[in-house]
Amino acid sequence: MPLLVAFVAVGFGETIGQVLLIRELLVNFQGNELSLGIIFACWLLMIAFGSWGLGRFTEKLKPQPSTFVFTLILYAFILPSQLLLARVVNAIIGISPGEIAGLLHILYASLLVLTPLCLVHGFQFPLACHILAAQKGKPAAQVGRIYVAEALGCMAGGALLTYVLVHHFTHTEIAALTVLINLAAGIVLLRPLLSHQFLFSKVFILAVCITGVIFLNSKVLDELDFLSAQWQWQGHKLVHVQNSVYQNIAVTQKGEQLNFFGGGMLLFTHPVPDIRFVEEMSHFPLLHHPAPQKVLLIGGTVDIIQELRKHSVTEIYYTEPDPLIIRTAEDYLSVNLSQLPETKVEYTDGRLFVQRTEEKFDAVIMNLPSPSTLQLNRFYTREFFNEVRGILSSQGILAFSLPSSEAYVSEEMARLNNSIFKTLRTVFSAVAVIPGDFNIFLASPASGLLPQSTAEICRRFEQRGLDTKLFTSSYIRYKLSPQRVSGLTAHLGGEGELNSDSKPVATFYNLALWNAMFYPGLKGIFDTALKVKLWWFLPCLPLFLLPVLLNLRRKRFPVSSVALAVLTTGFAGISLSIVLLFAFQVTSGYLYQKIGILIGAFMLGLALGGYIMNRLLARVNRDIFVLSQIEIAIALYAFLLPYPVLVFTQPLLVPGEVLFSLLNLTTGFLVGLEFPLAGKVYLQRSNQVGQVAGFLSAADLWGSVVGALLTGVLFIPILGLVGTCWVASIFNLATFSLLLVAASVFPQVMEQ
């Protein structure tokens, strides 16, 4: 029992340590799906290596709790040191703060920061299984119990971090608390050993007490947190840094200018902003409307709000999901948004506000990055454009920008702009584009409203007496000259699929554009990826039968087929969870806490499935048959999952988090059922408990690596939600077939 309690603490620390280090890495490397996929892949791969590679040596260690305590001590040293390393790793690999990093830099940094902690975590699982099996016997049951304990710890860690810790503590304080909890678990393990390992136990308890005193002295930790943050922002004068639930907020100073960063990405500067962008995004949309009164700004800066006010609008609704950005800006700027009579700040996701508001707007302006992530893509889909159309007045205008170029529009850049342009035209009667280094897209439900004549735009500009710096009548005539517009937008209407919630292809187009800037040699890979079809995965079915063919001559059941089943289940678990998280985000907005509920539901399902199967292990006689039934259940679930998901993305009376949590709990439950049973099958052929547990854990993680890396980057954007679920179904159908064929070729195994 003490070891199970300790392993709950291990799962708790694994989740918190993972989130802390990944959040720190994202400050250095602004994350799209590919960079996030690389970070997660490194995390899972290194844990897998720790489970499988180091787990092979567990049988050579004495199965004593004190052996496990050493891993807890290692964790206590590694987590704080790697947290500090994450804050200087950009300098080590030669990346400046705020600079966009290439894939190799992200890979190097992720391996450097994550590997030590992951190896320890990976090794702890087979080691705990080895020790508990030696203490209690029944090795298969003990593997299942450790599996359940880890799932419960992960769930508890994720919930506590999401709802409590990030709201009240710095990353350094959270790391210290996590270390303290893990060391306290060591005390629980050492209690039975106090009589014959007195010196070691007392020294360890003293170390825990010292750590507790340090944690309670928050002033020391606060100073260390700010000092290490200054290392992270080398070359900048850091004046403020703070973590919110959403991201890291940092303010740096250069001369009289303040720079505001969110998640390592430059949000805005003051008092000298990007004048051209601010004035164009503010004035072009409103000058195309004869008398704008009510404006919705999704994302943005104080500078854009100030420019919008020059049009004498009566109301400006400004949506920002992270209140800390507003509070930080107000602390350092002379403007207080709450005191501006026209401005109403809505602390909510922009899309969620559009879905729920009953107001009508003359202009909706999106000041958001391009659709570089699945979360951002939600604002560039046909469904969102329809939602915006519903809140626009009869002559209302939607405006946003996408990256472009005055000199050369690459194939990748054209494809991205084409996709959004075509999508806009399926919803709005009037669409116009003002080209430049960034294209400004204007759309309206009023047929013939766009584009306005240059003379009319200049007349309104003069009539409203706008006080601007760069934006003048001459500049307007230059930007809207017919020859210039037609020359720079000639590519529009070319190659590029429609962008939708269920198939967010613009995310991949943006990723291809990002890749073209850093690794143009990989262009062929991205072009080929665009051609991927679902039927390409059907050949996987016969390929999965190779283990049977390879074992025919030896007349031995291919136990590797069980490992393949665990691998495909790991793939399905992570892939279906990402699908559910993405679908929930589409319908319910960028609500991190509620997304935390979904992740917690998956971990709870994992624990329930593992617990139930562990209780049934002694009664299960036909192990391979039951295992194959779990595989076909997962395959059928993955095949049918798109239908409730697509239904739930529509407005419902029941809160979305309830429905999606139930689906994610079911996903976790099916995945959790398999691991204890797979462990039983392997342990019938080997008494090396630690080695078996480590190998199966690694197989599960390898499947998760592939799923995490490909689902958000390739499958969802290219194949859509339905195709992604069906890929998971195909893989698990393949292992179901493998298990049945293997059992029929080697019938004796079905009797076990």
pLDDT tens digits for 258-269? 888 887 777 888
Strands (E), 166-279: 237-243, 248-254, 257-262, 265-270
Helix (H) or strand (E) holding 433: strand 430-434
- The whole-angstrom distance between residue 476's C-alpha and the CA centroid of its chain comes to 41
Residue 549 scores a pLDDT above 80: no
What average pLDDT does the structure give for the chain? 83
| Whether 499 contacts 423, CB under 8 Å | yes
Which tokens go with 737?
Answer: 């077939």
DSSP tag of 498: P
- Take residue 594 and report the two structure tokens written for it: 């509620």
Query: Contact, 499 vs 420, CB < 8 A?
Result: yes
Neighbours of 355 (CB within 10 A): 16
What is the arithmetic mean of pLDDT over 181-205?
64
What sign results for the dihedral spanned by CA atoms 481, 482, 485, 487?
negative
Is the distance from CB of 90 to CB of 229 less than 8 angstroms? no
**Listed ranges 89-93, 104-108, 241-245, 421-425; the one with the highest mean pLDDT:** 421-425
Is 741 in contact with 541 (CB distance < 8 Å)?
A: no
Better-predicted residue by pLDDT, 400 or 326: 400
How far is it, in rounded angstroms, from Cα 400 to Cα 423? 14
What's the maximum distance between 2 C-alpha atoms anywhere in the chain?
A: 93
Contacts (Cβ under 8 Å, ≥6 apart) of 70: none
List the strands of the sheet with 237-243, edge to edge: 237-243, 248-254, 257-262, 265-270
- The residue type of 513 is L
Lowest-pLDDT choice from 323-337, 353-367, 618-632: 323-337
* Residues in CB range of 58: below 8 A, 6 or more apart: 123, 126, 127, 129, 130, 689, 690, 691, 694
Q: Where in the chain is the domain with CATH 3.40.50.150?
A: 274-511
- DSSP, res 441: E
Backbone φ and ψ for 460, nearest 5 degrees, come out as -65, -40
The pair of structure tokens assigned to 234 is 């080398």
Q: State how far the Cα of 554 lies from the Cα of 265, in Å rounded to an integer.
A: 58
In this structure, are residues 278 and 303 in contact, taking their beta carbons and an 8 Å threshold? yes
Q: For residues 720 and 500, what is the distance between their CA atoms, to the nearest angstrom? A: 9
The continuous run of DSSP H or E covering 319 comes out as strand 315-319
Q: What angle do CA 87, 228, 203 make, to 5 degrees?
A: 100
240 contacts: CB under 8 Å, gap ≥ 6: 249, 250, 251, 328, 331, 332
In the numeric block, the tokens 């620390």 are attached to: 13
C-alpha dihedral (523, 525, 526, 530), degrees to nearest 10: 130
pLDDT tens digits, residue range 503-518? 999 999 998 888 887 7
* DSSP 8-state class, residue 626: H
pLDDT reading at 381 higher than 70:
yes
Q: What is the DSSP string of 98-131?
A: TPPPPHHHHHHHHHHHHHHHHHHHHHHHHHHHHH
Average pLDDT over residues 71-79: 86
- Report d(CA 365, CA 268) in Å as an integer: 17
Identify the CATH class of 1-232. mainly alpha
- pLDDT top residue among 609 and 212: 609
| Mutual angle of helices 560-588 and 720-745, in 10-degree steps | 160
Quick one: pLDDT band at residue 752, thresholds 50, 70, 90? Answer: very low
- Cα–Cα dist 132/282, whole Å: 65
- Cβ partners under 8 Å of residue 287, min gap 6: 452, 457, 460, 461, 464, 476
Over range 681-702, report the average pLDDT.
84
> What pLDDT, in 10s, does the model give residues 7-26?
787 888 888 888 888 888 87
Could you give the residue range(s) of every CATH 1.20.1250.20 domain in the chain? 532-752
Residue 392 is inside which H or E element, if any? strand 392-403
Q: What are phi and psi of 491, to 5 degrees?
A: -80, -15
**How far is it, in rounded angstroms, from Cα 104 to Cα 716?**
24
Phi and psi for 554 in degrees, rounded to 5? -85, -5
Once rounded to an integer, what is the mean pLDDT over residues 600-626? Answer: 87
Q: Does the pLDDT of residue 594 top 70, yes or no?
A: no
Higher pLDDT, 580 or 685: 580
Is the domain spanning 532-752 CATH 1.20.1250.20? The answer is yes
- Residue 206: predicted pLDDT: 63
Q: What strands, in cross-sheet order, belong to the sheet with 315-319?
A: 343-346, 315-319, 294-298, 361-366, 392-403, 438-444, 430-434
> Tens of pLDDT along 635-660?
999 999 988 776 665 555 556 677 88
Sign of CA dihedral 549, 542, 710, 155: negative
The pLDDT score that the predictor gives to residue 690 is: 83
Calpha distance 332→335 (Å, rounded) = 9
Residue 67: burial class (beta carbons within 10 Å; 0-12, 13-18, 19+) = middle
Q: How far is CA 46 from CA 113, 350, 465, 724, in A?
A: 11, 37, 62, 26
Task: Say whether domain 274-511 belongs to CATH 3.10.20.90.
Answer: no
The average pLDDT across 275-281 equals 90
Q: What is the mean pLDDT of residues 191-204?
A: 55
What's the pLDDT tens digit per position in 32-52?
Answer: 667 777 888 888 889 998 888
**447 vs 637, residue with greater confidence:** 637
Q: How far is it, in rounded angstroms, from Cα 66 to Cα 160?
A: 28
Q: Does residue 284 surpass a pLDDT of 80?
A: yes
Which tokens hold the place of 379? 């604002």
Average pLDDT over residues 293-321: 90
Beta strands 361-366 and 392-403, pairing class: parallel
pTM: 0.87
413 vs 132, higher pLDDT: 413
**Portion of the chain with pLDDT greater than 90, in percent:** 28
| The residue type at 190 | L
The answer on pLDDT for 326 being more than 90 is no
- The residue type at 550: L
